[in-house]
Structure 1
Amino acid sequence: MFERDVKRAGRAGNVRSACGALLLLLVAGSATPAQGVDPRILPATPRYVRNAACAPVRIAMPPGTHRLPGGPLISPRPAEIPVGQGDSAICFAYATADMISQRVGRAVSPLDVAGKFYFADPARLEALPDPALRAHLRAHPGYPADIAWGRNAADINPVGNPGLQPYFDKLEGGEEDAAALLYNLGGLCAERDLPSHEGYAHFGPTYAALRFSAPVRAPNQCLRRVGATVDKLRSRRADAFNDAWLRRVDALCRREPLPVPLLPVSARVAANQLDFMAMLEAGRPPARTDITRLLSRVDYALDHGRAPAIGYSWYILQDRDPKDPDLAADHSSAVIGRRKAAGRCQYLVQDNTGEYCARMRPDIARRCDNGRVWLREDELRRSLYSVIYLR
């Protein structure tokens, strides 16, 4: 988002703060670094180079606390499988939550990450006191417009939603860097408090009830929790629903201050996977050196103790169903390791779809273990279009 290698047309204007400050998202400054949290802030403009030796590295992820829907028990062995997005289409929030979790040493809730991306007020960032964050914002003055662009680019799922209302659980897509930046607001919410394994499955009855009750109970006023988002994500019914959902989140989350500020750095060669495919079809694919520069950032992040998120195509992992209307399968995942095998550099990608390894391409399945897949560099190069990491 902040170091775009592509120009975006029709960029939305600054996000309007229609209803003043958010009541839900309280200002939270940086706290004393928690035990095990790296207090270092990486340079804003480092020199990116490939790790020529492809030296082995494995990024430690904080213990998960996810559980299956319908049960109160926390997984006794959560490290064996990543939190899965289920039927949701917000992989950006799961990859961003992985980045944040690794940075702060706590497993944070992807649903909370998504809620802040869609509805948090970017104007509140200016009030945060952390000097590193304030310097980061000054260096990237276009962040409000970038956030608005990402929100306007979100899709609305029509399934069970004939009116195309922008209900929270019907929103699809988002930007990892914007989501990470907005997560500086209000403190972190642990996955234990707001379970996100299998997407929205834990809250199906809640959403069903709010579809009917929220518009009736909503006060006849602008709802402050959603008043600062873009017009595309607002309507009378959706405002009431989304405000009620964010109140529910507020009640469930025992928020804690972030131990370090979240300062995202990103680069890309295409706006998204569909744009990447269009470049290929037009006979102007990204230069090999451009993809190498992206991989240099992956190496830099891993070598400095960060788990970067990458944008790529899910179809690298699994064959496309001919009946699937999604031609691009735009996907986002965290990278948590690197190794050299059979003379080739491989990267350990933490898939968050919850898909079984056995359903993946045979060669990929042999390098997959409970959703964590070793991808060769040449496989990544086929569709890699973005890299984001936290300084």
Structure 2
Amino acid sequence: MRPGRIGGAIRAAVRSGVLSCALAGVLLSSVTAARAQVDPRILPLHPAYARNPTCAPVAATIPFDVHEGTRDVALSPSPREMPLNQGESAICFAYATADMISHRLGRQISPLDVATKTYFADPERLTAIPALRAHLKAHPNWRADIAWSRNAAEMSNIGNPKLLPYFDKIEGGEEDTAALLYNIGGLCEDRDLPSNDGYRYADRTLRALRYRSRLAPRPLCFRSLAGTVPHLRDSRTDTFNAGWIAHVEARCRRVPLPVPLLPVSYRVAANQAEFAALREAGRPPGRRAVARILAMIDYALDHGRVPTIGYSWYLLEDRDPKDPDLHADHASPVIGRRKVGGSCQYRVQDNTGEYCARMREGMREACDNGRVWVDEEALRRTLYSVTYLR
């Protein structure tokens, strides 16, 4: 929860010797085809997962547009060169999920829209989507999973001493439930609801909503919040959250999804804190369980999908001794794979907005504008979940 183009990546891989010119030509042709239309394939529900035996090179990219949230060109490095970042928010799951969806749909999806649906969309609307019926039938506990994710959300105490569930104070979520709920209501591009630097570009709206909800509340249509859990309802925040939902719907020029979003996930722990507790208790997840996560990452990459992973941010950057967050639960998409020497490496796209120079030794040298090559063995020490879209 801590606060490039593929063609260029392929050409860089050729220069570094990771890819042959012939393979690069094939990949660039695939990129051109992918830009022409969305991949209509739906991957099997229960495939046979296996590691890629050669750690064959793969390069993927997240669709990226220049919009309101990336016009701060005076900054260095420019936001145009870095992934969308979550700023001071604690909704890394929404940024990772948005990246995963953006890759699947071929357009940049707004992470703030992903977070809004994750917390407030009515799950029962999923049952009215014909393309989801088989998926929901195969996952009979989907309602309970969504409720668990929402009830596990925490509230920031920054400017919120009573820990009330204002939208911009809610923290945490699960990538699989977020992706499933994003099937509701059509997609919203980031150009409509800018999410770079967290809530920065929505700050004026959020301040106005907070003022009106405290001093001059308007009549509330409770139906806009009827589909969420009591944990995210409060008479002091309902007007604010309903106003935020109305703002999102007014800004978003929604269009139907070209393909359904069917998430598949696997985890060896509920979160990084549980993962660490298992290790400290002398019962760490077995290598076979973590190997399954890596096999699912390989499967997703080899089948044209960008998976997301759950891990600790402290893999990339040393913990400040004064930081009260002991585990730094984090989520990121995996956008590449390569073999260096005898080691398999995965390219993790970090959405914190942190500069490479501030990362720990070894990571800063492997980092390029927030995209970091991480050795498999280093990843194993903190990796606890994976999600991809069928």
- Give the shorter-chain TM-score range: 0.7 to 0.9
Q: In the aligned structure 2, how far is the partner of 1:66 from the partner of 1:161?
A: 31
Give CA-to-partner distance per residue, 1:212-266, whole Å, 9 cap, x none: 20353331x5521112111111111211000001111111111111000000000
Kept in 2, the 8 Å contact 1:186–1:255? The answer is yes
Kept in 1, the 8 Å contact 2:146–2:177? The answer is yes
Amino acid of the structure 2 residue aligned with 1:295? L
Kept in 2, the 8 Å contact 1:310–1:332? The answer is yes
**1:343, distance to aligned residue in structure 2 (A):** 1.7
Q: In the aligned structure 2, how far is the partner of 1:268 from the partner of 1:114?
A: 21
Q: In the aligned structure 2, how far is the partner of 1:324 from the partner of 1:188?
A: 36
| Partner SS state of residue 293, structure 1 | helix
Q: Which residue of 1 aligns with 2:43?
A: 42
Task: Answer yes or no: is 1:296 the counterpart of 2:299.
Answer: no
Q: In the aligned structure 2, how far is the partner of 1:71 from the partner of 1:385?
A: 35
Q: Which residue of 1 aligns with 2:56?
A: 55
Q: In the aligned structure 2, how far is the partner of 1:305 from the partner of 1:104?
A: 12
**1:362, distance to aligned residue in structure 2 (A):** 1.8
| Partner SS state of residue 178, structure 1 | helix
Task: Answer yes or no: is 1:155 the counterpart of 2:154.
Answer: yes
1:192-271 residue pairs with structure 2 within 5 A?
192-215=191-214, 216-219=216-219, 223-271=222-270
CA change 1:346–1:79 in 2 (3 A) is farther
Amino acid of the structure 2 residue aligned with 1:127? A
Amino acid of the structure 1 residue aligned with 2:224? R
1:357-372 residue pairs with structure 2 within 5 A?
357-372=356-371
**1:211, distance to aligned residue in structure 2 (A):** 1.1
Task: Answer yes or no: is 1:308 the counterpart of 2:268.
Answer: no
Unaligned runs of 5+ in 2: 1-33
| Partner SS state of residue 339, structure 1 | strand
Amino acid of the structure 1 residue aligned with 2:114? V
Amino acid of the structure 1 residue aligned with 2:41? R
Give CA-to-partner distance per residue, 1:18-38, whole Å, 9 cap, x none: xxxxxxxxxxxxxxx994210
Q: Give the total of aligned pairs.
A: 355
Q: In the aligned structure 2, how far is the partner of 1:69 from the partner of 1:170?
A: 24
Q: Which residue of 2 aligns with 1:11?
A: none
Amino acid of the structure 2 residue aligned with 1:124? R
**1:307, distance to aligned residue in structure 2 (A):** 0.2
CA change 1:67–1:369 in 2 (3 A) is farther
Kept in 2, the 8 Å contact 1:309–1:333? The answer is yes
Q: In the aligned structure 2, how far is the partner of 1:146 from the partner of 1:318?
A: 31
CA change 1:253–1:34 in 2 (3 A) is farther
Give CA-to-partner distance per residue, 1:82-119, whole Å, 9 cap, x none: 00000000000000000000000010000000000000
Q: In the aligned structure 1, how far is the partner of 2:232 from the partner of 2:295?
A: 36
Q: Which residue of 2 aligns with 1:374?
A: 373
Task: Answer yes or no: is 1:80 the counterpart of 2:81.
Answer: yes
Q: In the aligned structure 1, how far is the partner of 2:290 from the partner of 2:147?
A: 27
Q: Which residue of 2 aligns with 1:93?
A: 94
Kept in 2, the 8 Å contact 1:66–1:196? The answer is no
Q: Which runs of 4+ in 1 moved over 2 A?
A: 33-36, 63-73, 77-80, 214-218
Q: In the aligned structure 1, how far is the partner of 2:72 from the partner of 2:301?
A: 36
**1:203, distance to aligned residue in structure 2 (A):** 1.5
Kept in 1, the 8 Å contact 2:267–2:384? The answer is yes
Q: Which residue of 2 aligns with 1:134?
A: 133
TM-score by length of 1: 0.87
**1:176, distance to aligned residue in structure 2 (A):** 0.4
Q: Which residue of 2 aligns with 1:116?
A: 117
More helix by share: 2
